[in-house]
Structure 1
Amino acid sequence: MNPGEHLPGPLVPPHWLGERLGAAGPVVLDASVGARRTAARRIPGALRFDIDGPLSDPDAPLPHTMPDAARFTEEVRKLGLDDSGTVVVYDAAGIYSAARAWWMLRASGFDRVAVLDGGLPAWAAAGLPVEDAAPAAAAPVRGGFTARPRDGWFVGSGAVAQALADPGAVVLDARTRGRFAGTEPEPRSGLRGGHMPGAANLPFGELLDGAGRMRPVAELRALFAPLAGEGDKRLVFSCGSGVTACVLALGAELAGYGDLAVYDGSWSDWGRPSDLPVARGRAESPAELADRHVPVVAQPRPEGDAERP
């Protein structure tokens, strides 16, 4: 791909990438997590964007923490990316952890990145080629990428507490409705059940259609509007560990929202035993959210709570 070629948007369909795959095409990154990370299948030439490993802060007490600019720069350079390059990122689940990689690059000042709609399953279903090989950890040639962190794109619990008390902001939680209500157990031990008082619940799976692709823009707007209004509020996204919160960020951008942030620690941070308040039960209605002013005070923590670029 010519570095100057324009991406059609933050989401690209399989055929778009298929027509451009090859030495002159975009850098293709596999951002799969968990068991899917070790699967020995990939889009030809794909490289590993490993948010379970090097592309997470090794010193953080929480999972999937955004690394500092120096580490992120070094790891992305190993993938052969230059500042003028173009990236398409996917995962083996469909649209799941790829959105996290998209947001990390965007938060680092790099806008020439898109998510493959439907991920590897949609790619394979379209009859496009798949290699029986795990994505490589590094490119043959190092790139010249430099992270330029954008302030406020990743936030900590202090900023989330402020958003919860601000009528001009909405905190949206991407976890399932049962986890949000506290009626389903958290998958990580030691976390309290429930949600942040004043947060709204929009499970990330509701943004996807039956094939694991992002819903049409009109449907996304219909999902966001009752909770987030028409675009004049700051939206802060949370989930379990900062991964599927980025699916909401992707959906919100597609729906036309512009003032967005991701709570990096998400419930892995807020849900730890602390003085941070937790509510249980149903989510507030849009009318209740519009009227609420929640006086949440975030208690300082010795580690894992700094706002990260």
Structure 2
Amino acid sequence: MQLPGPLVSVTWLAENQFDPNLIVLDASIKPVGNNSSNKSKVKIPRARTFDFDKKICDQKSILPHMMPPADLFEREVCELGINSDSCIVVYDSVGVFSSPRARWMFKAMGHDNVAVLDGGLPAWISEGHPTEECVSQEINLGNFITKPREHLFCDMDFVALALNNSSQVVLDARSAGRFSGNEPEPRPGLRSGHMPNALNIPFNDVLVDGKLRSVDELSKIFSSRIKFDQELIATCGSGVTACVIAFAAELIGYKDITIYDGSWSEWGLPSSRPVVTK
């Protein structure tokens, strides 16, 4: 089974959800500063939980939900019953929030047949499709094999050099208030502001009613800020919503994209790294 593209509609998923080669993953994560639970009491039928916040992440890092080593990713994904030829659709309980991060992780581990559900669980429910209770299920072990693409994530040193390189642009997906430093960071101990020369595209700007904006709308948003031939380095608070703007850029044809995994959770720590407020 081959996906129609990197973004699929609720209608498409409803028509194909019982295909034996299709795996549906719930990659919901609690937005930072939100004290409510990130876990919905219901899920799309047959969906499996892809927990990149506590489980499928670098267990040794002090930073939140960093990309895990390839062997850990492979082991956890196999336990979800995912095979190397599986067709994967990822969703979250917000709309389009954390699902692009999960998709990017699969891409970084060499798996391209993976898509985001436009509108996520809210769209699925609003269009009248059935749900089921979130209970554990027996799953046969998969045979997924990782083929890492390390260029899809980058570190702080890479970003520091890119900030002064005209062929690269750093795009920050945090809110305008956090970017300017007028709003405090929701994570304790972090400085306010942004990296020198970074540009701001708040991730909510590429969405409307929990879904991705049209290709024409997205093109206008990006073309007003960056050139098509620049390498795009996406950052945010912790590498989650950076994947939303990276995904939007991918949908309109940008090819050279990487995610700063540590994002502001790393750069914003007290250090000698420069911070700008305005």
TM range (shorter): over 0.9
State the AA in 2 paired with 1:279.
V
String of CA shifts for 1:118-160, please: whole Å, max 9, x gaps: 00000111111111225x4x75101111111112111110111
Residue 234 of structure 2 aligns with which residue? 237
State the AA in 1 paired with 2:172.
D
Query: SS at the partner of 2:248?
Result: helix
Residue 224 of structure 2 aligns with which residue? 226
Conserved? CA contact 1:47–1:139, under 8 Å = no
In the alignment, the residues of structure 2 paired with residue 52 and residue 10 of structure 1 have an alpha-carbon distance, to the nearest angstrom, of 22
State the AA in 2 paired with 1:274.
S
Q: Structure 1 stretch 125-134 or stretch 152-161: which is displaced more?
A: 125-134
Query: SS at the partner of 2:142?
Result: coil
Provide the aligned C-alpha RMSD in A: 1.2
Residue 125 of structure 1 aligns with which residue? 126
Conserved? CA contact 1:36–1:92, under 8 Å = no
Conserved? CA contact 1:42–1:133, under 8 Å = yes
**1:260 maps onto 2:221 in alignment:** no
Alignment of 1:62-73 (within 5 A): 62-73=63-74
**1:271 maps onto 2:268 in alignment:** yes
In the alignment, the residues of structure 1 paired with residue 92 and residue 7 of structure 2 have an alpha-carbon distance, to the nearest angstrom, of 13
**1:176 maps onto 2:172 in alignment:** no
Q: TM-score, normalised by structure 1?
A: 0.86
Q: TM-score, normalised by structure 2?
A: 0.96
Which structure has greater strand proportion?
2
Q: 1:269 to 1:216 in 2, by over 3 A?
A: same
Shift of 1:9: 1.0
Conserved? CA contact 1:195–1:280, under 8 Å = yes
Query: SS at the partner of 2:133?
Result: coil
**1:248 maps onto 2:245 in alignment:** yes
In the alignment, the residues of structure 2 paired with residue 114 and residue 232 of structure 1 have an alpha-carbon distance, to the nearest angstrom, of 25
Shift of 1:235: 0.1
Residue 22 of structure 1 aligns with which residue? 18
Residue 164 of structure 1 aligns with which residue? 163
String of CA shifts for 1:167-208, please: whole Å, max 9, x gaps: 001100000000000000100000000000000000000000
Shift of 1:23: 5.3
Query: SS at the partner of 1:19?
Result: helix
**1:9 maps onto 2:10 in alignment:** no
Query: SS at the partner of 1:38?
Result: coil
String of CA shifts for 1:1-38, please: whole Å, max 9, x gaps: xxxx3211110000100001125251000000124532
Alignment of 1:74-89 (within 5 A): 74-89=75-90
Query: SS at the partner of 2:110?
Result: coil
Q: 1:55 to 1:107 in 2, by over 3 A?
A: same
